[in-house]
């Protein structure tokens, strides 16, 4: 029995034991249902963005710095013809310190370049009059993020003095691979995780998805093979479809399946099954005047199953076609028996 509006229809389901259990509730796809779902989507609180990261780079163990004291070349290690600035620089030790002439051992880990310049100026002022010095980072080695999963060059991406975001980190890791699910990126920071949807950024301009990263963050890009819907039943090209767009509707999925089979399909019986053990089931009667408009507003989710039922006459034809081989065999046996009985010795 099928009711209109927001009421439900009841369909039987076969259990593993072959018994017919209590009926399952099926919701009709109506304008009211779609409006309710869209409003629920827009009113859902946005995931909390990661706390802002201080934009000034802070030095750490492994970083290489160059310190130049003007008019005092004896305090500056020259780069030389065959030495890069990185090779001639000062490496911050594991305990976060460096040694500099007339300043001694200095704790520099956690300082910005500006703070280190001020500290060195203060320490050298007792020895050098009117100190003029410059501090540069020759190599960024202490801070890094890890990009894994479906990117072209997974691995370690160093953080520099330029703030690094999710998009920047993925670009430095060679960009997305062909199998990347741009809707499903996991950011792990310490004991907490956050799901990031970059399609929402690319298509809707949701900049909250482009989180600024911190040292030791882990970005994991999922495989899009999980991000599929399945279109089955009386369609011209049944199979799975990858959701490579942020918003894929029921109408688009049917269109990608070359639409319903006009010969065998029952257009009044289009179902969407969503979920696992206790699925939500939605029903669309595509012969109704507003059906295509509703189908174009009904947004599918990953792992949804779209099923187009066959017409009753097709079911009967299938039963007949299954019975025909058996009937033919029985007729042949009967004919053989009759024929044998008519032969005389």
pLDDT digits (tens, 9 = 90+) for 187-219: 999 999 999 999 889 888 889 999 999 999 999
Please name the helix (run of DSSP H) or strand (run of DSSP E) that holds residue 316, with its range, or none: helix 312-341
Centre a 10 Å sphere on the Cβ of residue 199 and count the other Cβ atoms it contains: 19
Read off the pLDDT of each residue in 77-85 and give the average, rounded to a whole number: 52
Task: Quote the CA–CA distance of 196 and 35 in Å, as a whole number.
Answer: 25
Domains 64-139 and 227-313 share a fold: no
Tell me what pLDDT residue 113 has.
94
- 110, pLDDT greater than 50: yes
Task: Quote the CA–CA distance of 136 and 8 in Å, as a whole number.
Answer: 70
Question: Could you tell me which CATH number the domain at 227-313 has?
Answer: 3.10.560.10
Please name the helix (run of DSSP H) or strand (run of DSSP E) that holds residue 189, with its range, or none: strand 180-189
- Beta strand 228-233 pairing with 239-242: antiparallel
Cα Rg of the chain (Å, integer): 34
Contact (CB, 8 A) for 59 and 114: no
Q: With pLDDT > 70 as the criterion, what percentage of the chain qualifies?
A: 75
Minimum mean pLDDT range among 6-20, 84-98, 161-175, 253-267: 6-20
The neighbouring-strand residues paired with 34 are none
Tell me what pLDDT residue 310 has.
84
Over residues 163-186, the pLDDT tens digits come to 899 999 999 999 999 999 998 999
- Domains of the chain, by residue range, sit at 64-139, 144-225, 227-313
Centre a 10 Å sphere on the Cβ of residue 239 and count the other Cβ atoms it contains: 11
- Beta strand 144-149 pairing with 155-158: antiparallel
Please name the helix (run of DSSP H) or strand (run of DSSP E) that holds residue 325, with its range, or none: helix 312-341
Please name the helix (run of DSSP H) or strand (run of DSSP E) that holds residue 137, with its range, or none: strand 133-139
Contact (CB, 8 A) for 13 and 24: yes
- Can you name the CATH fold of 144-225? Outer membrane lipoprotein wza fold like (3.10.560)
The CATH class for the domain spanning 64-139 reads alpha beta
Over residues 13-32, the pLDDT tens digits come to 444 443 333 556 788 888 88
Tell me what pLDDT residue 23 has.
53
Residue among 146, 148, 150 nearest 159 (CA): 146
């Amino acid at each position: 029995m099928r009711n209109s509006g927001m009421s439900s229809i009841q369909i039987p389901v076969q259990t593993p034991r072959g018994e017919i259990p209590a009926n399952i509730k099926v919701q009709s796809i109506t304008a009211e249902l779609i409006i309710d779902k869209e409003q629920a989507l827009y009113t859902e609180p946005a995931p909390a963005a990661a706390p802002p990261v201080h934009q000034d780079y802070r030095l750490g163990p492994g970083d290489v710095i160059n310190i130049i004291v003007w008019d005092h070349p004896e305090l500056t290690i020259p780069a030389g013809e065959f030495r890069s600035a990185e090779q001639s620089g000062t490496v911050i030790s594991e305990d976060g310190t460096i040694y500099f002439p007339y300043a001694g051992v200095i704790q520099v880990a956690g300082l910005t370049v500006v703070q280190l310049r001020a500290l060195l100026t203060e320490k050298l002022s007792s020895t050098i009059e009117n100190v003029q010095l410059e501090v540069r980072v020759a190599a960024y080695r202490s801070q890094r993020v890890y990009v894994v999963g479906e990117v072209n060059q997974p691995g370690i991406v160093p953080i520099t003095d330029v703030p690094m975001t999710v998009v920047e980190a993925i670009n430095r890791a060679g960009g997305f691979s062909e199998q990347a699910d741009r809707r499903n990126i996991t950011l792990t920071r310490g004991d907490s995780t956050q799901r990031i949807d970059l399609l929402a950024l690319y298509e809707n301009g949701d900049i909250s998805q482009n989180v600024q990263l911190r040292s030791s963050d882990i970005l994991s890009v999922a495989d899009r093979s999980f991000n599929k819907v399945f279109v089955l039943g009386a369609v011209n090209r049944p199979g799975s479809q990858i959701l490579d767009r942020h918003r894929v509707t029921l109408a688009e999925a049917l269109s990608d399946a070359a639409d319903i089979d006009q010969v065998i399909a029952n257009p009044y019986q289009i179902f969407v099954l969503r979920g696992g053990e206790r699925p939500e089931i939605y029903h669309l009667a595509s012969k109704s005047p507003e059906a295509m408009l509703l189908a174009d507003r009904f947004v599918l989710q990953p792992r949804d199953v779209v099923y187009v039922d066959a017409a009753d006459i097709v079911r009967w034809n299938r039963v007949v076609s299954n019975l025909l081989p058996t009937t033919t065999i029985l007729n042949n046996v009967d004919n053989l028996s009759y024929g044998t009985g008519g032969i005389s010795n």
